[in-house]
Structure formats: structure tokens, C-alpha cells
Amino acid sequence: MAHHVSGLGISPTSLDPRSHITDLYVFQKPDDASRTILVINVNPTSPITDDAVDHESVYELGVDTDADAVTDIAFRIRFSPVQGHEQTASLQLATGREAAADLDAGDTVLLDAPVTFGSEPRIAAAGEFRFFAGLRSDPFFADPVGAENKFQWTGEDFFADKNVFGIVLEVPNRALGPNPRVGVWARVLVPHDGRLVQGDRAGRPGIDANFNQDDDDKRVWNQQEPSHDREGFLAKFAHVFEHAGHPEDRANALAESLLPDLLTYDYASAEGFPNGRNLTDDVINMGIAQLSNGAVPHDGLRPHTDLRTDFPYLGNPH
């Protein structure tokens, strides 16, 4: 269904749910068209413990500014170990392709920002940047039971009472580059054999779970960067569309529209998915309608009503 179920257990480097991305959201800040909100939600098992993120991993948002699917701007978040029910985070910004490719490059924007374990958000700010990290209500809504039963919808939103660990940035649009049309993706770099390697990634919603058919494909997909997506996956994605009933030429065109897997975003527009992704966008029904050519009825679900109207926008945890 969604990125909630991809990655976990597929690779030795992504067994830990703390390093697993559930969803990526990017949208124009409400009431301020000069600013953008970026959200990475991780750990679909939150909050089993306060230690909901891995202090040895790096959580990264990559921005492609010139449509070549290579990261030109990187926002990196690192966390301290939890000590006495307290945890902090740091935010690093690397600009330029060489800096974005170097995990140790870039400027520290925020240091020792508090992590939120309770309901009231603890927000950090530095200059024109705002930052939040902590347990939140999962904004994702879907009926996976109905989907797995040949789209016989149950009317039940499986995620209505679920939590995630949310990482939210508010940035000026110019921090995303001079061209308002960008591509955004998220990844988690995890420790493996003495180095940091990519363990999970996310761009458009539901891509990995819906189009990668076996564990080997999922393993390769989650450990590669978007610039390589078409090389090994274009024909496989087209086959999924053909299997759903699309003619070959249409299937190929649809597959090409999804790859490379970046969340395309024009920061001059507040339109919503497929322009970025708002917290309320009905991406599951949009995706099913595209795959089935409109043959599957709407699941009847609606966005969650516990979203905040102010930063960090994600609702309080359950």
C-alpha cells in the first residue's frame, strides 16, 4: 500500500524500524508562499520507547535543483542518545553537489535542538529555519486490509490511531535553490560494516511497496539513489502497469512518469500532490486510480482531523 510496509526486514541494514521511512511530505507553508515545509516520518512502531530514532544513523532530505536526479542540496539530521528522558538533534545544511555528496560537509544550522516525547511540541529556530522532531500522530490514511482483499473496502482507516516519529523543517524557499521546480527525496543512512550506507529511501508515496515485486528488487531499490532508477526498474514498473490492463505504450509512459522516484515540487504553488505532497492529500486513491485506470472505487476514507494548523502541523501523539 504505502511506504509504511517497504524496507523493513529486506536488508540487514534496514531491520531496525527506527531507520525506516513511512512517508515524505513537502508543501508550501499555509499563509506564507515564501516558505516550505518538509516532513520525514519514520518508525511505524512509535512509541514503543522514547528511543524512537537511531542516534547512529543520519536522516537526510535531498534536493535536486536541475532535474538530473542527483542531490544538489542536503539537509541532514543527527540525533543524540536518549539520556534521562531527553534527546537532542542537530541540523546540517550542505549546498553544492560535492558538499551534498559528503556526509561530513556543510554548515550546522541547529545544534542541540530538543526532541519532543510528549504532546506539546518543542520547537527550535535559528535564523529563517524552524525545526521539530518527536512523536506525532501518523497523518497517513488508508485501508490496507481492503486493498489486499481485491479492493473490497472495509471503511476502516488502519492508521487512524497510529504514531510515527516526525521530523519537520520549515525553510525559506530560496534554501531549495533559485529554480522553484525541484525534486525532493528522503533517505536514512545507517551504520553497516563500519560505515554509513543507505538503508531506506522515499520519494513519491507508495512506489516501493506497489511496484517492486520481490525482496531482491526492494533491496536494490532501497540502497540506490534516484539517478539509477530507470536503469534497472523502468521495464519492471511498466510491466506492473501492463499487468493492470494498460496497453504497452501507455504502460511505458506511466512508468517513465514515476522514475526517477523524486517528489516533484514547485515551491511557487500550493496545489498539492503531485506537486509536492500535503498532509491531507488523498495519495492512495490517486495512485489506485492511475494504476487501475479508474476502475477501482474510492475507499471512502478522509484525511485525519487531528492535524495542527500551526508548525509542526502533525497531530499530537495517541
Q: How many CB atoms neighbour CB 279 within 10 A?
A: 21
Assess whether pLDDT exceeds 50 at residue 2. no
Q: 148: buried, middle or exposed (CB in 10 Å: 19+, 13-18, 0-12)?
A: exposed
126 Cβ neighbours under 8 A, 6+ residues apart: 109, 110
Q: Are 138 and 41 in contact (CB under 8 A)?
A: yes
Q: Where are the domains of the chain?
A: 3-292
The strand order across the sheet containing 124-126 reads 21-28, 35-42, 163-172, 129-137, 124-126
**What is d(CA 217, CA 103) in angstroms, rounded to the nearest whole number?**
26
**What is d(CA 274, CA 271) in angstroms, rounded to the nearest whole number?**
8
152 Cβ neighbours under 8 A, 6+ residues apart: 146
Assess whether pLDDT exceeds 70 at residue 1. no
Provide Rg for the chain, Cα atoms.
Answer: 19
Q: What's phi and psi for 37, nearest 5 deg?
A: -110, 130
The model's pLDDT over 256-311, given as tens digits with 9 standing for 90+, comes to: 999 999 999 999 999 999 999 999 999 999 999 999 999 999 999 999 999 999 99
Q: Are 79 and 208 in contact (CB under 8 A)?
A: no
**What is d(CA 232, CA 218) in angstroms, rounded to the nearest whole number?**
12
The model's pLDDT over 221-262, given as tens digits with 9 standing for 90+, comes to: 999 999 999 999 999 999 999 999 999 999 999 999 999 999
The model's pLDDT over 194-230, given as tens digits with 9 standing for 90+, comes to: 899 998 999 999 999 889 988 889 889 999 999 999 9
Q: Which amino acid is at 138?
A: D
Q: What's phi and psi for 51, nearest 5 deg?
A: -80, 70
Q: What's phi and psi for 121, nearest 5 deg?
A: -65, 135
Q: Which amino acid is at 304?
A: H
**What is d(CA 41, CA 317) in angstroms, rounded to the nearest whole number?**
13
Residue (of 202, 316, 269) closest to 29 by Cα position: 269
The model's pLDDT over 15-53, given as tens digits with 9 standing for 90+, comes to: 688 889 999 999 999 999 999 999 999 988 866 667 889
Residue (of 295, 181, 204, 313) closest to 258 by Cα position: 204
The fraction of the chain above a pLDDT of 90, given in percent, is 85
Q: Are 246 and 293 in contact (CB under 8 A)?
A: yes
DSSP-assigned letters across all residues of 116-150: B-SSS---EEETTEEEEEEEEE------HHHHHTT
Residues in the chain: 318
132 against 12, higher pLDDT: 132
Q: What is the pLDDT of residue 48?
A: 65
Question: 99: which strand partners?
Answer: none
DSSP state of 297: P
Q: Are 282 and 142 in contact (CB under 8 A)?
A: no
Q: What is the pLDDT of residue 300?
A: 97
Assign 13 a pLDDT band (cuts: 50, 70, 90).
very low
**What is d(CA 96, CA 205) in angstroms, rounded to the nearest whole number?**
27
